[in-house]
Amino acid sequence: MKFFLLALLFFVSFTSGAAQTQTQTSFETSALISSEGTTPFWLQSNRYGMYSQNGSQFFTRFQYHSSIDDLGPFDILYGADLIARPAINSTINFNQGYLKLRAYGFELAAGRFHNTSPLHDEELSMGSLGVSANANPIPQVRIGLYDWTSISFTNDFIEIRGHLSHGWLGSRRFTDDVLLHEKVGHLRVGGDLPVNLYGGLAHYAKWGGNNHPVDGDIPARLSDWWNVFFALGGDEFTPGAEQAYALGDHLGAWDLGFYLNLDDVNVKVYRQFPLETKDNLKFKSPQDALTGISFEFSENVRLPFDRFLYEFLYTKFQDGERRPNIVNGRNCVENPDPAICRDNYRGNEDYYNHGLYRTGWAYNFRTIGNPLFILNEENLGIVNNRIVGHHVGFISTFGDVQLTGKATYSRNYGKYCDNRIPDIGEGELFGIRCENIVDTIGGRMIEQWSFMASSVIPLNLSELPNLSLLFELAFDNGALVGDQFGGLIGIRWNPN
C-alpha cells in the first residue's frame, strides 16, 4: 500500500502540468469527548473506521481528490485521504489512496477507496448487510461499470451495473493474509417511467491465508480463485471442510426494490436478504432481511425534512437452530455419507461467522457489513447476529445550516449454539448455555438505544471562505455497547 501511494504521488506530480484537472481538497480537525471509555455508537460507526472505538480523542483529516477529464474518452481520477488520530490507539494512516481509469462506462480502480453498496444511503442507513461504511476501505483492484449503464437496444428501459474485485484483508485477524473476492451485479428496469424496479446479487468470499493455527497455509492459486468464483469445493491440497462444500467463506445478499420518482418526492423501497449458504439463494430464510424506505423531498414540499429514512432489520431465524440434516430419510449425523449429505447439520446460518476464518466478516477490528452485528473483543467473530432492529435517519436544512439525525433501537439475542464456532463471549453476555453442540438453553434479550444529532454551520468569513463548524452529540443506552454520552466539535475548510 505504501508503494502504491508513492506511485500515486509521482503520478499526480507528473500529470498535473500535462492536463487540465478538477481538484477538491478539504482540511478537518475536531475533538471528540466521551463520558466513558467507549465512543458512542453513531460517533464511530459507519465512518470508514476513522474514529477510535475507545472514547475521547482528537482527529485531523486532509483530503485531496482530483480528476483529469480532457483525455478523449478516458477520465482519470485519483486521490488520498490522510487521517491522524491521537488517542489511546493513536494512528496516522491513509484511509483512502486510489487511482481510477474510466472509459465507455467502465472503471478500473486500484487502492483504498470508499466502496459501499450503491443501493443504500451511506449517510442515513444503519448499513448494508454486504459492505457498509463501517470498516476501513479494503485495498483492492476492481473492474466494472461505475454507474447505471443502459443496454443499448432497450432505449434506456433496462440498465445494469456491477463490478468484480480482488482484495487483501491483511493480517490483523485469526488467519494472516486472507484474500477477498467480490462480485456484484444489479439490473434496473423502467427507464423514464415513474416506477423503476431493480434487483441483483452481491457475492463475497474470504479465501486463502497463511499461518492458520490448525491448517497452516491455505492455498491461493489461480485454480483456487476459479473455485471461489463459482463457490465450488477445493482440491486435496485445501482443508477438508473446504473440499466437500465450497472453498472459502462465502456470503452475500439479494437486493430487491423499486424507485418511485414523483414531482416533489423521490421514494425508494428496498429489501436485502443475507446469504450464508447456497441454500439461501433459494430464499430459505425469507424473514431475515433489512427492509427500508427512504424519501427525498423537493424544495416545494413544506416538511421539516429534506430526506427521511426508516429501516427494519430482522435476522433471528437463520433457517432455525442447528440440527441434524435429514436427506431422503437419512440422519446425516448418525449415518454420514459425503455422497448424500453435503452437510451433516442444517440450520443456524450464523451470519458473518465461519469455522475456518474465525475473525468473520470483519476488517481491522470492525464489521465490514451492518455495524449492529457486534464483533467480539478478541477479534474472533461476531458475538451478536440475531437482531431485531428499528432505525430512523433524517437530514434537514434551515437556511445555511444542515442538521442530520439518527436513532436506532435494537433487541439483541446473541447467536445460536454451534459446534463450528466456540463461545466467543455470547454465553456470558446473553446468558446462553449450550447443553450440547447444537442446543441453545436459556438466554436473554438485550435492548440497545443509540442516538446521534449533528450539524454543519457555515461561518461565511470573507477572509477564509468555505469554513464550517461541526457539532455532533450522541447517546447510547443498553448493555450491548454500553451507556455513554459524547460530543464532537470541529472545523472543516474546503478551499475549492
Instruction: Kindly report, residue by residue over 264-308, the tens digit of the pLDDT.
Output: 999 999 999 999 988 778 888 899 999 999 999 998 888 899 999
Q: Stretch 76-81: mean pLDDT, rounded?
A: 97
3-state secondary structure 103-135: ECCEEEEEEECCCCCCCCCCCCCCCCCCCCCCC
pLDDT of residue 326: 85
Question: Which residue from 287, 251, 254 is spatially nearest to 387, judged by alpha carbons?
Answer: 287
Q: Stretch 202-224: mean pLDDT, rounded?
A: 92
Domains detected in the chain? 20-208+248-315+351-493 (2.40.160.130)
pLDDT of residue 426: 87
pLDDT of residue 257: 97
Question: Residue 86 pairs with which residues in a beta bridge?
Answer: none
Question: Is this model's pTM higher than 0.85 or not?
Answer: yes
Q: Stretch 300-319: mean pLDDT, rounded?
A: 94
pLDDT of residue 483: 97
Note whether 324 and 333 are within 8 A (CB).
yes
Question: Residue 398 pairs with which residues in a beta bridge?
Answer: 401
**Burial (CB count within 10 angstroms: exposed 0-12, middle 13-18, buried 19+), residue 216:** exposed
pLDDT of residue 95: 96
> What is the pLDDT of the chain when averaged over all its residues?
90
pLDDT digits (tens, 9 = 90+) for 103-126: 999 999 999 999 877 778 889 999
Q: Reply yes or no on whether the pLDDT at 440 is more than 90.
A: no
Integer Cα distance of 353 and 181 in angstroms: 17
Note whether 159 and 193 are within 8 A (CB).
no
